[in-house]
């Protein structure tokens, strides 16, 4: 539908549903621009409202103006700084949905805010880009406004010759003022029936021009949307990846250190002691002939035997901590095994048509292990639900419990999990009001 197909397309353009949908989009655009422009007027408006409500306006001179505005002004600036990004996000969401519905233009959602803290509200890159989009709405509203105006008043002006005979059937000689019509170039007056055809011609021109004006307005709007409302820009993504890479390296180093500590203080010391006990036992048994001290040798061998079993148990725990062997059979088996070792009864539902990448399975498993341990330790829950669902290229791990709630998403345990899953662009949502119940959702890509 690009006008290159001939004059017929251009003539038909105003009567397509696309034109109607563009018109709706443009109207919303103009309203949004007006709202954006109204924001700076909030302080004086609020001040005047308070002065009026308290009756201070009626006194001469108005005594409370300066102090009131001294309070209101910084307050409003602070509110603007804190609320701008979330408001921008909300407005951006509305516009993305509108573009999707009305213009068939799909803009991907920006990544969600990292947390609910005030700091994250302010340091929210995508939110501020949405604010930028809001400010751009003001110049964008000019072609959009003109387009809608032409689209609405074009047919109105076009119809003037029809209305003239109905309302201007006065007896000849009656003195009447001209009939006014609105055009983009100012009002146009007609005193005679012939004059209405001039208005009608202007209306036709407006009607034909309207789709192009609206199209220009929406095209510019969509371009702005793609740049400002979509997923973050490359530079931001690179920064994010740098952060998550640094975390991954840190975590790997921490893990190696912990592993060394566990081996050093566990299996290694047990084996050294075992070797020592066996060394002593060997001496007690002597090199040949009758053992010099059989009773002690027996006791030492028993000690060594127990030491060997303890060392094995230590190593088994350690190995399971590195990579649970049952995970090789898939996440379903691994989570079922995990559930059986939980102190609180766990209902497991795993719906996976095929297996995710091994790294994702491992992350999901350790997240589930950590969340189950949390539920058992802190929540006083009597039942825990553990679910894995797959939708498209995403896998969602859900852990729910009927416990006391109040899990802190910014505590060390959950932030540790959040760090781990951020490495693979995963997301975590924690819903845990005081009094419960708790629901933690972890969304992971199925492939890295």
Candidate ranges 84-92, 195-203, 278-286, 332-340; the one touching another protein (CB under 8 A)? 278-286
> Which H or E run includes 292?
none
Give the one residue of 62, 94, 162, 275 binding another protein; rule: CB under 8 A. 275
- 79 near another protein (CB under 8 A): no
- 272 near another protein (CB under 8 A): yes
Binders of another protein among residues 282 to 311 (CB under 8 A) are 282-283, 296, 307
Buried-state track 396-412, b at ≥16 Cβ within 10 A, e below 16:
bbbbbbbbbbebebeee
Give the one residue of 264, 323, 355, 377 binding another protein; rule: CB under 8 A. 264
* DSSP secondary structure letter of residue 287: S
- Report the residue number, 70 or 275, with the smaller CB distance to another protein: 275
As a whole number of angstroms, the distance between CA 8 and CA 331 comes to 61
* Smallest distance, another protein to C-beta of residue 299, A: 10
* Smallest distance, another protein to C-beta of residue 94, A: 56
User: Pick from 99, 90, 107: which is nearest to 35 by CA?
Assistant: 90
Candidate ranges 49-57, 67-75, 241-249, 275-283; the one touching another protein (CB under 8 A)? 275-283
Candidate ranges 3-11, 27-35, 222-230, 261-269; the one touching another protein (CB under 8 A)? 261-269
Give the one residue of 76, 87, 144, 277 binding another protein; rule: CB under 8 A. 277
- Report the residue number, 226 or 309, with the smaller CB distance to another protein: 309
Give the one residue of 19, 199, 206, 280 binding another protein; rule: CB under 8 A. 280
As a whole number of angstroms, the distance between CA 6 and CA 448 comes to 50
User: Pick from 396, 395, 409, 415: which is nearest to 438 by CA?
Assistant: 409
Question: CB within 8 A of 71, min separation 6: which ones?
Answer: none
- 261 near another protein (CB under 8 A): yes
Angle at CA 353, nearest 5°, toward 352 and 356?
A: 65
Question: CB within 8 A of 86, min separation 6: which ones?
Answer: 121, 124, 127
- Report the residue number, 276 or 404, with the smaller CB distance to another protein: 276
As a whole number of angstroms, the distance between CA 26 and CA 221 comes to 10
Give the one residue of 108, 265, 351, 410 binding another protein; rule: CB under 8 A. 265
């Amino acid at each position: 539908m690009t006008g290159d197909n001939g004059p017929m397309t251009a003539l038909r353009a105003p009567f397509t549903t696309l034109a109607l949908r563009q018109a709706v989009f443009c109207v919303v655009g103009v309203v949004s621009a007006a709202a954006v422009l109204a924001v700076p007027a909030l302080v004086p408006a609020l001040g005047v409202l308070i002065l009026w409500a308290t009756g201070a306006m009626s006194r001469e001179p108005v005594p409370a103006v300066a102090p009131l505005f001294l309070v209101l002004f910084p307050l409003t600036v602070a509110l603007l700084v804190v609320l701008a990004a979330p408001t921008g996000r909300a407005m951006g969401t509305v516009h993305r949905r509108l573009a999707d519905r009305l213009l068939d233009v799909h803009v991907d959602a920006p990544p969600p805010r990292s947390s609910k803290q005030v700091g994250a509200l302010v340091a929210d890159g995508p939110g501020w880009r949405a604010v930028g989009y809001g400010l751009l709405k003001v110049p964008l509203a000019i072609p959009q406004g003109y387009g809608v105006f032409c689209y609405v008043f074009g047919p109105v002006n076009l119809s003037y010759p029809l209305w003239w005979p109905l309302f201007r059937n006065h007896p000849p000689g009656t003195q009447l003022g001209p009939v006014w019509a609105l055009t983009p170039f100012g009002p146009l007056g007609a005193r005679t029936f012939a004059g209405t055809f001039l208005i009608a011609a202007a209306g036709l021109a407006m009607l034909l021009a309207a789709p192009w004006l609206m199209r220009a307005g929406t095209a510019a709007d969509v371009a702005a949307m793609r740049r400002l409302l979509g997923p973050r820009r490359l530079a931001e993504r690179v920064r994010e990846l740098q952060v998550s890479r640094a975390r991954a390296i840190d975590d790997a180093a921490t893990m190696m250190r912990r592993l060394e500590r566990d081996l050093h203080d566990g299996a290694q010391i047990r084996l050294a002691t075992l070797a020592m006990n066996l060394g002593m036992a060997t001496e007690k048994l002597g090199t040949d002939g009758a053992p010099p001290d059989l009773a002690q040798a027996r006791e030492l061998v028993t000690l060594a035997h127990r030491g060997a079993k303890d060392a094995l148990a230590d190593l088994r725990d350690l190995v399971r901590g590195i990579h649970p062997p049952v995970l090789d059979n898939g996440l379903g088996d691994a989570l079922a095994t995990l559930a059986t070792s939980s102190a609180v009864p766990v209902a497991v539902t795993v719906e996976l048509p095929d297996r995710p990448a091994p790294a994702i399975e491992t992350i999901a498993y350790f997240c589930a292990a950590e969340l189950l341990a949390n539920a058992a330790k802190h929540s006083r829950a009597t039942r825990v639900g553990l679910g894995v669902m797959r939708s498209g290229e995403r896998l969602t791990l859900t852990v729910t419990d009927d416990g006391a709630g109040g899990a802190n998403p910014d505590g060390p345990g959950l932030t540790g999990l959040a760090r781990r899953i951020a490495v693979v662009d995963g997301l975590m949502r924690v819903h845990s009001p005081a009094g419960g119940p708790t629901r933690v959702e972890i969304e992971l890509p199925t492939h890295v």
